[in-house]
Each structure stands twice: as structure tokens, then as C-alpha cells.
Structure 1
């Protein structure tokens, strides 16, 4: 395991208790199911924010989700069926493995995080990932900076060193990738040893 990866995993383990991720798995990779995934994502995020409140902390948010899971599943299922699909939605609060993801100018390292996991139908399609708390689900790598409110919330939650490490994690990940590409590009040298077979001498008579 590389030094960069070890640092990323250590950082993820330290920040994970303060973070709640959001993970939606589409029924399949068909264009219709992928579009449905995004519609359900937007619907649930808006419903959660409206009912739980914009300034709700992580523990309160988890409590809301536990108490209203059935209602959220029912509402999402009704939306899906109104679009002509026969499958439903399953919502769980789980511990999940997440890849490294960039939001604005911050990168959250790969690691194990607590997450709201939304399974649509068979859940065999491409995923949608974001951070539900602090609220980063409307922020992606196309935006230059993180919303100020979310950044301030995160800064208050994390040790200063870990908070600023999120800004450098993206550079470290990119550097690790570049080093791997450079290593892969190096010519491979194969060393072969030539063994001589020693034959016994026979003295001539």
C-alpha cells in the first residue's frame, strides 16, 4: 500500500464520524432507469431538507431518517410508479465503502462512511454519490468552490489539520496517479541468466 493511500485512509477514518454520505443505486444502466435515479435523488433530498430542516445536525438527521424511513420509501415508490415503473425504493442507514470524491475544491478520501443508501429496484445500475451532511449534494467537481455555509459547518466539525487536508487530498490523489502512470511507462527490463552446462572431460587413452 502506497504512503498516499495510507494517509487517505487515515484521514477518512478520522473525518467519517462527522460525515453522512448519500448513495443511490439505480435499477439498471438503461437511460430510463438512470434518469429515474436522478429524479428520485432530487425528490428525496428536497423532501429530507424540507422536513428535517436545513440546519439539522448529523445525529438529528439520522434520527429523522430512522423515524420517517417508511414514509420516504412510500413517497419514492409512488413517484417511481407514476413514471410507469413497477419497482420500488428501499432506504437504509448503513456503513458503506466510498471511493474518493471531489466536491468543489475539496476531496473526500476513499474510505468507510455512514451513509443513507437508497436501492431502486434491483440496484444493478450506476450509482449516485454525495455528502448529505454537511450538505454537499448540490455541489460537484464542476463548481470551483464549496458553498460557504457547508464549508463553515465542516470546518467547525473537524480538527483544523484534517479540514485543510481535504483541500490537498485532491492534489495528493492526482500525484499518486501521475506517479503510477510514470512507473507504468518505464521500460520493463528482463534479466536473464545464461547457465553453462559443464560436461565432464574424458582423458584420452
Structure 2
């Protein structure tokens, strides 16, 4: 009976320690986000629904708007330039999105605004942005009840396929000079080193291991 009680206490302590670690990590991430958020503008697109058609439409509207925004802003736009552009072009971009969707056969309204949003931790190329509240350009398509898509509009880190994205050095330099150096280093994703070992070799006699290493197939 005592062994069962000790085991239960041990498991409980481990669980509490694990939950405390998670809470501490999240707190640290949110604190980091609060420090860097003033220098960052996110981009957030909400689909009308989770249907395959609406999700595909969301990605098409996203790409169209991003291309339009970056083309109009040019390469040397600052954070304030980007915000000013969005504020002055909200209705124009909304209409552009609506006309684009109509041409694709959808009669959804589009709503764009600058607002504060809570974002989960997200990786862009070799940069990891912590969870927390950021200012964002939010685009709502139709009911806006479907899965959303997000990226970093400034510095320019928006990619149509972030799985294969490589963050441009120019964007990294903008970010590096905008925030504290120690915070910048925390955003850099360390490469994961994977060591593969064939466990079966450990079960073979020494002479067989040698034979395999000397006579590769």
C-alpha cells in the first residue's frame, strides 16, 4: 500500500513540475512577444468556413492581397509606412478582394482592419515568433468562421509556402536593428541534430559488426 502511495505522489509531483515548466515557458514566450511586438506587424486571414472550397479561396485571397500590398509599398517601406498604407487603403483592398472573389464565383464580403490579435508560436523559415499579442492586419472573409492563416507582414516574412521559406537577410537585418540583440537571438531557430543508430548492430557479436562495416552492400 505504501509503495502505491509513494508511486502516486511521485507521479503527481512529476506532473506538477511538468505543468509548471509549461506555464513558465509560455510566460517567457509572452514576455518576449510583448517586447518585440511594437516592431512587428502580423497578417491574419480568416476563411469563411472550413470547407475545402473556402479554405482554398482563403489562400488565393491571401496571395492576391500580399502581392498587391508589397507591390504598392516597395522594398524600402518602414513599419509606419506599412501601417499608414493599410489605414488609407483598407476600403480599396477590401473592394479588391471582393471583386477578386466574385471573379472566382464567390459573393463574400471582405473586411480588413488593424487590430490586436493573440497568436500561437509560429515558425517562419529559421525564425520562431513566440506566442503573444501582436498588432495585425486582419482580413475576414465572409463569416470568418474557418481556419485562419497568418504571417509577419513587417518585416517582410510572408510566404505562400512557409514550410520551404528562407527568411531574407534584409528582413533579418531590419528585425535585428529594431529589437534588443538578446531578444533577436531568441527568435533564431537552432538546427536540430539527428543521430541515427542502428540498434540491431548492438545485438550482433563483435566479429559480425566488423564484417558488416568492412563489407558494406
Q: Which bracket does the TM-score occupy, shorter chain normalised?
A: 0.7 to 0.9
Cα gap change, 1:138 to 1:168, in 2 (>3 Å): closer
SS of the equivalent of 1:76 reads: helix
Distance (whole Å) between structure 2 residues aligned to residue 169 and residue 89 of structure 1: 38
Structure 1 regions of 5+ residues with no counterpart? 172-205
| 2:77 aligned partner | 56
Q: SS of the counterpart of 1:142? A: helix
Show CA shifts across 1:60-95 (max 9, x none): 111111111111011110001111111121000000
Cα distance change of structure 1 residues 54 and 126 upon mapping to structure 2, 3 Å threshold: same
- CA deviations over 1:14-58 (Å, ceiling 9, x no partner): 000000000000001111111110110011001111112222111
1:107–1:170: 8 Å Cα contact kept in structure 2?
A: no
Please tell me whether residue 27 in structure 1 is matched to residue 48 in structure 2.
yes
Q: 1:92 aligned to 2:129?
A: no
Secondary structure of residue in 1 paired with 2:163 = coil
Contact 2:63 2:160 in 1 (8 A): no
How many angstroms apart in 2 are the aligned matches of 1:92 and 1:112?
16
The two structures, once aligned, show a CA RMSD in angstroms of: 1.8
Q: Match of 2:181?
A: 160
The answer to whether the 8 A contact 1:23-1:116 is kept is: yes
CA contact (8 A) 2:41 2:153 kept: yes
TM-score, reference length from structure 2? 0.74
CA distance in 1, matches of 2:191, 2:131: 11
Consecutive unaligned residues of structure 2, counting only runs of 5 or more, are 1-19, 193-217
In 2: Cα distance, 1:157 partner to 1:12 partner: 14
Contact 2:113 2:137 (8 Å CA) reproduced = yes
